Amino acid sequence: MGLMSFPATIVQADRDSEIVAQAGSLRHCFQVVEGCVRVFWLLENGRRQITDFLFAGDLLGLDAIPDNALGAEAVTPVTLRRIPQAVVETRASTDLRFARELRAYGAAQIRAAHARCVLLGRKTASERVAAFLLEMAQRLGGYGKSGMYLPMSRTDIADYLGLTTETVCRTLTDLRQRGAIRIERARITILDLPALERTGAEYVH
């Protein structure tokens, strides 16, 4: 993403601290340099839906999301590049190549969100967890013998998949007992990829 060339302020965020997009009247967007961020919505009575996890390179706040309801927090200590919305807007209004990149990015976001709707609306707990592991392996480079380190808690995973912590645990245990994965705390190794893919049941048409 051509966001690299933007003048940006480097900011840090502690574990579990909020990432504020609105500083005074100035809106910002961010690019994750290092660490993991969760983007979420809250409902009354404490229900939470995580709509995305962000890792190095990922973007936040490009879409002019209205302030209410949406939140972003550091899952781990995070380093971010912060860029004023207005700067991005200006660039988008002059640089056609960049504008196109932005549109492509938006389209990818929409596609991902729709895939998540399918997952949340129509998949079972096992399918959700399997799909999650596959997504994370994809994004974190977690195929391979050494597995991947998942920075987020089981609760985070549950709130991402529309489940409870307990169900996530049980499902992981089940996958382990079937020999599909190895679990060492936050490190998960995929042992039987085809089995996971069979369970993660992606779209058909």
CA distance 205 to 201: 12
Which among its own copies, DNA, none contacts residue 51 (Cβ within 5 to 8 A by kind)? its own copies
CA distance 2 to 83: 13
Backbone φ and ψ of 20, nearest 5°: -95, 120
Q: Which of 10, 25, 44, 145 binds its own copies (CB under 8 A)?
A: 44
Residues 114-143 that bind DNA (CB under 7 A): 124-126
Q: Check residue 109 for interaction with its own copies (CB under 8 A).
A: yes
CA distance 169 to 166: 5
* Both structure tokens of 182: 């190895």
Q: x-or-dash pattern for DNA, window 145-184, by CB under 7 A?
A: --------xxx------xxxxxxxxx-xx---------x-
Packing angle of the helix pair 125-140, 154-161 (nearest 10 deg): 110
CA distance 67 to 27: 10
Give 53 or 147: the residue with its C-beta nearer to its own copies.
53
Interacting residue ranges for its own copies, rule: CB under 8 A:
41-44, 47-49, 51, 63-66, 68-71, 92-94, 96, 99-100, 102-104, 106-107, 109-111, 113-118, 120-123, 159, 161-162, 201-205
